[in-house]
Chains A and B, each alone.
Chain A
Amino acid sequence: MQNQLEVTDLSIQLGGKTIVHGVSLALQSGELACLVGPSGCGKTTLLRTIAGFEQPATGVVRLHGKKVAEAYNSAPPENRGIGMVFQDLALFPHLTVAGNIAFGMHGQPRTAINRRIDELLELVGMSTLRDCYPHQLSGGQQQRIALIRAMAPRPALLLLDEPFSSQDMERREQLVQEVRTILNKDGITAMLVTHDQHEAFAFADSIGVMNEGQLLQWDSAFDLYHRPRSRFVAGFIGQGVLINAQVLDKQTLQTELGEIYGELSQQLPPGSKVELLIRPDDIIHDDQSPIYARVAARLFRGASHLYTLELNNGTRVLCLAPSHHNHQTGEQIGIRLSLAHLVIFPC
């Protein structure tokens, strides 16, 4: 099947500085993807280049098989058939909700436009607000209008540039999931840019982690969390610590928590010094366990406790324990490791 979006070896320079280095990625029709990374990592620049607002220095962008951009030669955004939702939403204040949605559908018969407006408003449950002006809507309503305005012309690709960042945390995850449902219903291919990994998890089938202009890993949320391929991804996605370890054989590591068996993420000769990634959920609180650690700090999270534990040699690890395991700071508690896949990085 043909890829809806195909980016090959794309580099982007802005003001003489290389912002994005040789990124390649592909999206299939109907796929929802996300670019996540710290601010300044180049994710927004990459998105804007796909949209056509910036030009690549090298590489090719293909939309639905057609080349739309190559080095310093690109089709203007209005000829690309993409939709974009902006960080500040950019609703037109002088147009009604219906006027905003219709804006991108010029040239279509009036009845078709009206049908599409009705259909989209129904999709987001805002049919009664058709004739309102943007300033009469709440923040969440504005967001949905900005979304369906971009969806209205049935773009080949929908790009979302941190449109949820103005929402508070609690509303955000719910809103993202709503958007995901809406996009899935309409069969839209979309790419979201965000710095918030929870937003990425809630939204995307595949996620790209970017740092310093490079696309470090393109994977499912599960694999990014459990099989990070670089220290940066390991640190950026989820919580965790790296502890010192030594390779004993193909399936065994010697650590401060004893010997651990499992599938190693990369094969290194026995004796190699490595660091092992430990997630909070890899450490199970177990009163029967012979290994003890001291509670250094605790964070009550409602359903769970996040303990910071200190091992005998001073190494600190995180432990996610069920909420009812209530231990005080300074207490010694028993722990054991539960790891099947061992993510290691050579020292």
Chain B
Amino acid sequence: MNNPGIQKSPTATGLSALRWPSPWIAAATVTALLVMTPILSVLGYLFHPGSGTWQHLADTVLGDYIRNSLLLMAGVAIGAGSIGITTAWLTSMYHFPGRRFFIWALLLPLAFPAYILAYTYTGMLEPAGPVQSWIRSAFELGYGEYWFPEIRSIGGAMVMLSLVLYPYVYLLARAAFLEQSVCALEVSRTLGCGPWRSFFSIALPLARPAIVVGLSLALMETLADFGTVDYFGISTFTTGIFRTWYGLYDEVAAAQLAALLMLFVFSLILLERWSRRQARFHHTTNRYQALPEQRLGRFNAWLAITACLLPLLFGFLLPVAQLILWAIQTWEQMVDASFYTLAANSFTLAGIAAVAALFTALLLGYGRRLQPTRWLRGLVQIAGMGYAIPGMVIAIGVLIPFGWLDNALDSWMRNQFGISIGLLFSGTLFILLFAYLVRFLTVSLQTVEAGLGKIKPSMDEAAWSMGRSKLDTVRRVHLPLMRGSLLTALLIVFVDVLKELPATLVLRPFNFNTLAVRTYELASDERLADASSAALTIVLVGIIPVILLSMTIAHSRPGHAKPA
């Protein structure tokens, strides 16, 4: 034969280093460390000698913070747990009219930030609101002549949080139920256990690790909540931090409260990690089999429909209807040039944060893929923890180091050049964006890593062996394969930033407002109806990732009918 034509002959100068440049790894390391700074600087205050304020707090309100936080967690665990498990079980095991609709619709309350739900219900249930007005006119009663539950209470907060957080439990419990071997359940039936006993003695214990994961996610959100408890006047850690910072101007005490709250969060993280490990052992089979959905009789079917409809109704349909009603009544006054400015501010901020988070996630994800050392793996894991940390804590954790940096820079400039540059970072959009990055990097990191995981290392090597450069490989193989994941990462961070309240409230520049903060301000002034346009915008945009999520689930569940 002839000598095969060599496409690109290796040249003497072609003898170059094969490995990706290590500046890449250095950049990933620096980024990971930067993202960790707020968490570390707050944790550092655990070892800080307490100020006088701290002693005062410890003597007076700290007990309340701890008790209320624990009570709230208990209430949400029971509320979100029972709703989530019941709806997950019904939709995965039984066949009843509307089941396919409920499978995805039950996720809709995720679109509601808890504080918006709280404002909406307060407006609906207050004495002058539609519900009490109707009661008075229907029963010809005067105000105060009948008993009516007070929504602005810790019980009310439990209900609000449970209604928006149960989808976490629902999602994970449903996935666990679907993964269970049908055989295990059938064996239990042949051994003489009825459906109820099979559920409690087989299905529930097998799904327990997944349920605990869902619950710990819901409880992390509960600890992070600021808007609801602030509006309901419940003293918890987040409101306490806010008050100590802005009321007492004591940054040490605020940071110490934040550090204490972090300890609560960390125990939840440990619980979650541990449960995820357990879940692997509880995985009974890799064979997916369509669950034989049992048809329910007429009466039971109605029960099941009711059980699925109630959380959807109270967690989404009713409050959305109320918001729409209010928006129709008030939009003429509320939707004006300043509203568009608000929306533009929010969307710009969310857009920039989403892009920044995506690029950071790509940097870390690629760093970890190219150099899977223990060091980088650990760093990336810690950098991806932000989502568990309450926005209020991150706000404090961002303010403290940047405040220190600002002061140091300023005094250095004054000493060296005799000019004062003022505070460079504090009170700028930059530190707000940085806080968003710290908090929401988790989301984009997970999505990017999932996307990268789908690209086998051999695909890179195949591309290289066919004469493609590394950049070319990224452009022609990675990008097309990851496009979906990248868009998802952008979208989810975008919506999360749009909904974020406490960090925005604390870190926003003077005179800079967003939809979330404006909603909070109007609600605080008891202008609940006026807040509806901004609130409705947030909720409607929030529906997009929920739809995406339900589509992902529909496609990722092997051996099971796709929900319509």
- Min CB distance B456 to A, Å, is 6
Interchain CB contact (< 8 A) of B461 among A77, A81, A156: A77
Does residue A341 face the partner (Cβ distance < 8 Å to B)?
Answer: no
- Min CB distance A159 to B, Å, is 8
- Min CB distance A51 to B, Å, is 6
Chain A 52-88, CB-CB to B under 8 Å as 1, else 0, gives: 1101000000011011111001111111111110111
Does residue A324 face the partner (Cβ distance < 8 Å to B)?
Answer: no
What B residues does A51 contact at CB under 8 A? Answer: 461, 465
Query: Is A188 within 8 A of B4, CB to CB?
Result: yes
Within residues 452 to 480 of chain B, which ones have a CB less than 8 A from any CB in chain A?
Answer: 456, 458-459, 461-470, 476-477, 480
Query: Is B6 within 8 A of A75, CB to CB?
Result: no
Query: Is B18 within 8 A of A76, CB to CB?
Result: yes
Query: Is A81 within 8 A of B18, CB to CB?
Result: no
Query: Is A189 within 8 A of B4, CB to CB?
Result: yes
Query: Is B466 within 8 A of A68, CB to CB?
Result: no
Query: Is A63 within 8 A of B466, CB to CB?
Result: no
Does residue B374 face the partner (Cβ distance < 8 Å to A)?
Answer: no
* Stretch of B7-15, B87-95, B384-392 on the interface side: B7-15
Query: Is B465 within 8 A of A68, CB to CB?
Result: no
A187 nearest CB neighbor, chain B only: B1
Chain A 102-128, CB-CB to B under 8 Å as 1, else 0, gives: 011010000000000000000000000
Query: Is B459 within 8 A of A90, CB to CB?
Result: yes
Query: Is A75 within 8 A of B15, CB to CB?
Result: yes
B18 nearest CB neighbor, chain A only: A76
Query: Is B6 within 8 A of A78, CB to CB?
Result: no
What B residues does A189 contact at CB under 8 A? Answer: 4
Query: Is A78 within 8 A of B459, CB to CB?
Result: no
Does residue B2 face the partner (Cβ distance < 8 Å to A)?
Answer: yes
Query: Is B16 within 8 A of A78, CB to CB?
Result: no
Cα–Cα distance between A94 and B480 once the two chains are bound (Å) = 7
Query: Is A153 within 8 A of B466, CB to CB?
Result: yes
Does residue B511 face the partner (Cβ distance < 8 Å to A)?
Answer: no
Chain A 13-42, CB-CB to B under 8 Å as 1, else 0, gives: 000000000000000011000000000000
Query: Is B10 within 8 A of A84, CB to CB?
Result: no
Query: Is A55 within 8 A of B18, CB to CB?
Result: yes
- Residues of A in contact with B, size category: 35 or more
Query: Given A52-B18, A88-B458, A94-B480, does the pair A187, B464 have CB atoms closer than 8 Å?
Result: no
Interface of A is mostly: loop
Query: Is B4 within 8 A of A84, CB to CB?
Result: no
B466 nearest CB neighbor, chain A only: A104
Interchain CB contact (< 8 A) of A81 among B9, B16, B469, B470: B9
Cα–Cα distance between A155 and B469 once the two chains are bound (Å) = 16
Query: Is B10 within 8 A of A66, CB to CB?
Result: yes
B476 nearest CB neighbor, chain A only: A103
Does residue A154 face the partner (Cβ distance < 8 Å to B)?
Answer: yes
Cα–Cα distance between A82 and B2 once the two chains are bound (Å) = 16
Query: Is B16 within 8 A of A75, CB to CB?
Result: yes
Query: Is B466 within 8 A of A83, CB to CB?
Result: yes
What B residues does A156 contact at CB under 8 A? Answer: 4, 6
Cα–Cα distance between A212 and B203 once the two chains are bound (Å) = 49
Query: Given A74-B18, A187-B2, does the pair A90, B462 have CB atoms closer than 8 Å?
Result: yes
- Min CB distance A166 to B, Å, is 13
Does residue A343 face the partner (Cβ distance < 8 Å to B)?
Answer: no
- Min CB distance B364 to A, Å, is 24
Query: Is A53 within 8 A of B461, CB to CB?
Result: yes
Does residue A344 face the partner (Cβ distance < 8 Å to B)?
Answer: no
Does residue B78 face the partner (Cβ distance < 8 Å to A)?
Answer: no
Query: Is B6 within 8 A of A92, CB to CB?
Result: no
Query: Given A29-B1, A52-B18, does the pair A78, B456 have CB atoms closer than 8 Å?
Result: no
Query: Given A79-B10, A79-B467, does the pair A30, B1 have CB atoms closer than 8 Å?
Result: yes
Query: Is A78 within 8 A of B3, CB to CB?
Result: no
Query: Is B458 within 8 A of A155, CB to CB?
Result: no
Interchain CB contact (< 8 A) of A155 among B4, B462, B470, B477: B4
Interchain CB contact (< 8 A) of B3 among A64, A68, A93: A64
- Min CB distance B167 to A, Å, is 31
Does residue B481 face the partner (Cβ distance < 8 Å to A)?
Answer: yes
A77 nearest CB neighbor, chain B only: B464
Query: Is A81 within 8 A of B6, CB to CB?
Result: yes
Query: Is B14 within 8 A of A76, CB to CB?
Result: yes
Interchain CB contact (< 8 A) of B11 among A55, A79, A82: A79
- Given A87-B458, A92-B459, A92-B477: 14 more A-B contacts, CB < 8 Å: A53-B461, A67-B10, A68-B15, A75-B14, A78-B8, A78-B467, A79-B10, A81-B9, A84-B462, A90-B461, A104-B7, A153-B466, A155-B7, A156-B4
Contacts A/B (CB < 8 Å), 26 sampled: A29-B1, A29-B4, A30-B1, A52-B464, A53-B464, A66-B9, A66-B10, A67-B10, A67-B15, A69-B15, A75-B10, A75-B15, A77-B465, A78-B467, A79-B10, A80-B465, A81-B8, A86-B461, A86-B462, A94-B481, A104-B466, A149-B466, A153-B467, A154-B4, A187-B1, A187-B4
Which 3 interchain pairs have the tightest Cβ spacing? Answer: A104-B466, A187-B1, A90-B458
